[in-house]
Structure 1
Amino acid sequence: ERLGLPLVVKPAKGGSALGVSVVHSAEALPSAMVACFAYGPVALVERCVVGVEVAVPVLETTSGVHALPAVEIRPDGGLYDYTARYTAGSTEFVVPADLDDDLSAECSRVAQTAHHALGLRDLSRSDLIVDGDGTVWFLEVNVAPGMTETSLVPLSIEAAGLDPGEVLAGLSLRAAKR
């Protein structure tokens, strides 16, 4: 009751939106929890925030820690679920995200803050929602973001004017030196 409806139920671990449900009624919550528990023993129940969904990669290089351009996610079906993530053409990506400069800077700040606060290194990707009032909501951070043809980080790397191969080589060299 305190969170209100709709809710998002998701596993505490995992990815690709597996086990994630949007719950629109109290009666639907038990089945969403059961579906979630198929992916792990801990469920997160959050208020469902409606707005612009963005992903902001954070990249560490020899010159420092940098937030890369935000990727705006526009799934055809409205929900960025497993199908929308891995079916080419089912989601439109806008890079950089269609946000004003202040909101874009705030998204970058939130992603960098999460990266630092969690003690992450090399590469991370923070998932955020910007609501209609311009509030940036932090959803989660991915510590091993995908690098496939449908992944978000390569889009952001290219939008930053960087070569994906060189970025991966740099990450590999940094890791090898540890």
Structure 2
Amino acid sequence: MNIVVLAGGNSTEREVSIVSGKGVCGALRERNHRAILLDAYFGREKMEEDLFPTEYDIEKEAAWMQEKSKLLKETMKTRKEFFGPYVLDICRAADIVFLALHGANGEDGKVQSVLDLMGIPYTGSGHLSSAMAMDKGITKMVFEAAGIPTPRGITLEKKTCTSKLSDYGMEFPVIVKPCCGGSSVGVCIAKDQKEYELALAEAFSYENEVVVEQFVQGREFSVAVVDGKAYPVIEIAPLEGFYDYKNKYQEGSCIETCPAEISVELTKEMQRYAEEGYKALHLEAYARLDFIMDDEGNMYCLEANTLPGMTPTSLIPQEAKVIGMSYPRLCEKLIEVSFNKYR
């Protein structure tokens, strides 16, 4: 197939997206697909005659995208439109677009809406479920309505919130995070009033809405759901702190164990909640749901990621490996299950 791997973008997760896109593009090439890497925000400098060549230099394209990252802030000051030159024309020529975007404008349903309107097939969930899952406040309400355990929390607006936790019937410690951010950017644990005020300022520097939830001390897990079926549970144990941006992407900062060393009963329970969360949010094709479990075995679903990291060492590829699926085959399977939306 002719496949566009759409990556980059203009979110705080741009660099992670480029790494995901590079990995996916290479994997699909291994499976004999004519995949190309395309920067959603910077596009192409010209329209080539052969859009999907047999021979293709992925490293060169990724390096060009990373060089363009240096211009991102300045470009965003003067440019209103999201898609770069020729992006939609090239996407229209593909059999499918593999979305390797992460964070705002790529994972929140906006790109999906445009592709839907243009009749361009793409991987992952549709625009509405992507938007719901990206909003941690909405996700929490959906989980609560569906009976999926999730930490108690509230959504605060910058212009109306107070800095007194007691006004919301909560107590320290709490987690403060931007409502629609990704990769734990801007997420802080606050153990007292001073830390809470600093955490609010940090989170509000990214967005006008933040989620504050009761902190749960425990072990962190993740479960991929592909085509409605849960994969093996993976445990993430940061050597320091919690699973924040640094621990997610700095090599050697976490110990990742798959399958997780928990009982069969707890494994099945977590997988069931992952599948129920996937269904409650009306997700499609694939997603990753994150959990925390306290010392008494009480588990809480934290959030759903509709376009999780897809580097060869990311969590979903690790889970797939346990069931005997290679990284290239996984990338191909995510395309196959995504086509179900169009049948």
Q: Same fold (TM over 0.5)?
A: yes
Aligned to 1:153: 316
- Aligned mate of 1:54, from 221, 245, 266: 221
**1:139 alignment partner in structure 2:** 302
Unaligned runs of 5+ in 1: none
Pairwise mapping of residues 8-157 of structure 1 onto structure 2 (< 5 A)?
8-60=175-227, 65-157=228-320
Deviates more, 1:168-177 or 1:146-155: 168-177
Give the AA of the match of 2:336. Answer: L
Q: CA deviation at 1:26?
A: 1.9
Q: How far has the Cα of 1:27 moved from its partner?
A: 2.5
Q: Secondary structure at the match of 1:44?
A: strand
SS in 2 for 1:50: coil
Normalising to structure 2: TM-score of the pair?
0.49
Within a 5 Å distance, the mapping from 1:154-173 to structure 2 comes to 154-173=317-336
SS of equivalent to 2:279: helix
1:111-170 CA deviation, whole Å, 9 max, x = no partner?
000000110011111100111111111111111111114421111111122222222212
Query: Quick check: 1:88–1:150 contact (8 Å CA) kept in 2?
Result: no
Please give the alpha-carbon distance, in whole angstroms, between the structure 1 residues aligned to 2:300 and 2:262: 14
Deviations 1:27-60 (A, max 9, x none): 3212111100122111000011011100000011
| Aligned sequence identity (%) | 33
CA distance in 2, matches of 1:169, 1:137: 31
Conservation of the 8 A alpha-carbon contact between 2:312 and 2:327: no
| 3-state SS, counterpart of residue 139 of structure 1 | strand
SS in 1 for 2:177: strand
Task: Label 1:123 to 1:50 Cα distance change in 2 as closer, same or farther (>3 A).
Answer: same
Query: Counterpart of 1:3 in structure 2: which amino acid?
Result: M
Q: CA deviation at 1:73?
A: 0.5
**How many residue pairs align between the two structures?**
174
CA gap 1:119/1:15 in 2 versus in 1, 3 angstroms: same
**Unaligned stretches of 5+ in structure 2?**
1-165
Cα distance 1:165–1:57, how it changes in 2: closer, same or farther (>3 A)? same
Letter of the structure 2 residue corresponding to residue 129 of structure 1: I
Distance 2:301 2:170 in 1: 16
Residue type of the alignment partner of 1:23: A
Whole-Å Cα distance in 2 between the matches of residues 150 and 79 of structure 1? 19
